[in-house]
Structure 1
Amino acid sequence: MKRLQVNTTQNVKINFELAHVGLRLGAFVIDNILKFAYVYFVMQLFNLRLLEATEDGWSVKAVTVVLFLPVTLYSLYQEVLMNGQTLGKRALKIRVITKDGFKPSFTDYLIRWFLRIADFNLFFLIGVYVYALGMSHLEALFYVLFFMGKMIGFFMILFTKNNQRIGDFAANTTVVTLKDEVKFSHTILENISETYKPKFAAVIKLSDNDARIIKDTYRKARKTKDYKTIKKLKLKVEEVTGITAENLTDFEFIDIVLKDYNYYTQNM
């Protein structure tokens, strides 16, 4: 099983298990079933064939484009909104991360989405062009190209070192499994938005190992509602960093410290 080793800023190594081609193919199939279901629903609900019989062809095209935007942008908006996952990826417990172990930016997701044209549909588009020529003897070639267009991403994931398709190479991302012994909740990684504003610059005094211990302790204490441990943890963090925050609860303080640490280590 291939693994991605991330060397953090404090030289702490974290190993992630890469999602193998079977998992990614399974997620791809689930996502496409959902997309085809949506298309079928739209066709039945809006009866687009009937609309095409109207005289205003431009209106029909505009409505068609709007209705099919959720399918066209499916992987982009889902990965952005669901922290590197689509519904298919979530079902199979896999997620997109950067090769550095962090959450991809919107630009990374956009690059991955756009380059699906190269990973899955390049030869398919060539096939569409050939088919549009109206040459019946080339219809077989169309189906061959369609199949090849879907196989490019498959073979890239299968044979590259970090299971990356073209979009992953361009965006410096890969896909990891969340079933691994190294769970995200056990690492220092936090979900922070691109517009996040840090509050405590002094958190950079912490090391990756400090952050990992803080998060692990915080996670366990929050789950069991161990307020005494959280209080002690807050006092220790204040002692090490020199931060004071009287207007925050102990839980809020630790949560912000972890997010701020992630912000500064990802953007330094």
Structure 2
Amino acid sequence: MTDNRLQIETPENLTLEAEIAGFGSRFLAATADYTLLIIVIFILGLLFSRSLPTIEDSTYASLLVISFTFLSIVLYHLFFELVWNGQTPGKRWLGIRVVQVNGMPASGSALIVRNLVRLFDFLPALYGVGILSLFLTKQTQRLGDLAAGTIVIYERPQVELRTIKQDMRVHYRLIKTVEPIPSSIDISRLTREDYQAIVNYLQRRSTLTNDYLAVAVAKKVADQMDYQDNRFRLNHPADAELFLEWVARAFELRGQ
């Protein structure tokens, strides 16, 4: 059973959705990566075989080859995922990326754990445990993902997030953003829905004819905040609008 959507909380207090990469995409990405790896390992094997003495013990030789192969696989994935922020050449080709389960960029320690556990994903052979784990976990995770707290998602175009951020910006008319937030503005009890309601009003206020809509929105927000200060006369549209601008600004600063 799989849940192919991942919810991501942004600093703007928005919830974005990303699609979790399925088995097919991960398989194609892995195929591309291992094709490159085979070429690299073959070339390195030729170079080392010419510089190392002949090993008579076949068991020792086999262990050396297996160790070298596994080390190459781990270092290949780890190098690219660290340098390319969760992507290998195969993942970049397929447009997928490793992130933390909360949607944030994968940390270096998480990527190290993820790739070291790759050895167990190979067991008993041909990635058997890893493939089984991909099918059995809700979010298509192999053992390395489970151990590191990571997940693979389809990468969204960056323009989408920038557009959303732009849409949530407020043009302040009554306050100066360089001024400190009044101490009475405590947004800890407010939700994302409250913030969106405030932004929706502030973005549309120039087209609205009912000035007392600001009063209605401000009173609802103040009730949520348990606002007790008398600095703002929320029954007056101008003060109500000023109050809403300060609340919106507080949300923006919290996201920075």
Give the TM-score normalised by the residue count of structure 1: 0.53
Distance 2:71 2:94 in 1: 25
Aligned to 2:187: none
Q: Deviations over 1:14-73 (max 9, x none)?
A: 1001111011011111111111101111233x2606733389xxxxx99x9899855441
AA in 1 matched with 2:112: L
Larger radius of gyration: 2
Mapping of residues 99-248 of structure 1, within 5 Å: 99-119=101-121, 121-123=122-124, 146-147=125-126, 150-178=127-155, 182-187=156-161, 212-213=165-166, 239-240=176-177, 242=179
Aligned to 1:41: 43
Residue of structure 2 aligned with 1:80, choices 60, 79, 82: 82
Aligned to 1:97: 99
AA in 2 matched with 1:24: R
Q: Cα distance, 1:79 vs. partner?
A: 0.3
Three-state SS of the structure 1 residue aligned to 2:115 is helix
Q: Cα distance, 1:7 vs. partner?
A: 3.4
Give the TM-score normalised by the residue count of structure 2: 0.55
Structure 1 stretches of 5 or more lacking a match?
56-60, 124-145, 189-208, 218-232, 244-263
1:3, 1:16 within 8 Å by CA — same for their partners in 2?
yes
Percent identical: 29
Note the aligned Cα RMSD (angstroms): 3.8
1:78, 1:85 within 8 Å by CA — same for their partners in 2?
yes
Aligned length, in residue pairs: 171
AA in 2 matched with 1:160: T
Distance 2:113 2:24 in 1: 23
Distance 2:30 2:109 in 1: 21
Q: Which has the higher helix share?
A: 1
Q: Cα distance, 1:184 vs. partner?
A: 3.7
Three-state SS of the structure 1 residue aligned to 2:106 is coil
Three-state SS of the structure 1 residue aligned to 2:97 is strand
1:42, 1:67 within 8 Å by CA — same for their partners in 2?
no
